[in-house]
Structures are given as C-alpha cells and as structure tokens.
Amino acid sequence: MSDNTKPSAEMWDKRYGADTFAYGESPNAYFKEKLSQIKPGKLLLPAEGEGRNAAFALSLGWDVEAFDISKEGKLKAEKLAVDQPGTLNYQIKDALEIAYPENSFDAVSFVYAHFPPDLRKTVYQKMLKALKPGGYIVLEGFGKKQIEYQAHQKSGGPRNADFLFSMEDMHSLFKGFEVLEMLEGEVQLQEGIYHQGQAWVLRFLGKKL
C-alpha cells in the first residue's frame, strides 16, 4: 500500500494493470542487500504488489508466500516468477483476512507496507507471529518527513502523515526483537515511475528472540 490514504483494490488494479511496472522490476535496494545475507528458507511478503521483491527472493532460492489486494499485481508477480528456482504462493487477500501458521517463516519483509494507523499494529503483530524464533525482519518504509519531500519530489508515499513511520513506531512494532540495524534518513529512489527522487525513509533489520 502507499500513495493514497484510503487505498482500494480498484485503485491498485488500475495502477498495476498498466503495461509498465509501477515500481520497476528490480527489488528494493535495502531488501536486496539484506536478504542476500540471510540463508534462504521461507519468506513472507505482505502487500507485495507486482512481485519485484518476490522474484528476487525466488532467484536466491527462497520459497515465497505473498499477498496483496490487487489481482493485477498478482498477474505481474507471476510473470516475474517464471523460471525462478524458488516457489511462489501469492494470494489476493486483505491483510486482516489473511492467516498463516505461527512460527512458520524464516523471514518477513515489509517494503513500503503502509497501513492505516488504527490497523498497523494489528497487521504487523499478526505477520510477526508467523515468524520463527531466530527469524529475520527486513523493513523499508517512508518516514514522517516524507510529507515535506512530496511537495518537490516524485518519490511517492501516503499523503497522510499518520500512515508514515517514526522511530517510535519501530520500537513499538518490533518490541522484543534484537535490533541489528535501525536507520532513518534521506535516500535516492529509482523504483519505477512512482518512486523517483529523494525520499525520507526508515530501515529496520531485526531478529526474533
């Protein structure tokens, strides 16, 4: 989820239904760097969209479970997954409806998975319960200051600051995790047509205790 305060399946189907990939076919840079350092296993990708991160994970030999509300996103993801060594199971489900067994994933990655503030903690806790002890979290999302960048950059993100992350959110969402890395700052995004230019992001790498 990202650029509107009330995203809908119809909105995302329209965006992902275009011939081009809205956020590109290459994986998110932080996701790519960190996942490459973790032994492949089973990976969960919430709000996966067109599958750019799933396809990269598959190429490393990960088995990937993914979900999103967009059927067009799933079609794109399945195209990228062709001939990759790992397996992809992609479901069209809302984050509140999807269910996974506890302690069943070796890693969970949230890449620009922005949810309404009243739902965020519920959704994240649900996904984190599915992570095995010793499993990894990889996150990149827009920080609160991204609102300021939207006035002069085309780097995207929700227009409602309540949907954006703060360092306090990271501590709250991942309470009880070993913090391997937690960063906040400016980056240059080159991800398709909707994430272009300078942006303010938070990055988190953690391990479930």
> Structure pTM?
0.95
Band of pLDDT at residue 7, cut at 50, 70 and 90? low
Sheet-wide strand order for 105-111: 88-92, 63-68, 42-45, 105-111, 131-142, 195-208, 177-191
Please determine, for residue 177, whether its predicted confidence score (pLDDT) is greater than 50: yes
Q: Using DSSP, state whether 46 is helix, strand or coil.
A: coil
Mean local confidence (pLDDT), 199-209: 98
Count the Cβ atoms, other than its own, within 10 Å of residue 27: 23
**Vertex 68: Cα angle to 64 and 72 (nearest 5):** 105
Residues 6+ apart with CB under 8 A from 179: 204, 205, 206
Q: Model confidence over 130-169: pLDDT tens digits? A: 999 999 999 999 999 999 999 999 999 999 999 999 999 9
pLDDT in tens, 84-97: 999 999 999 999 99
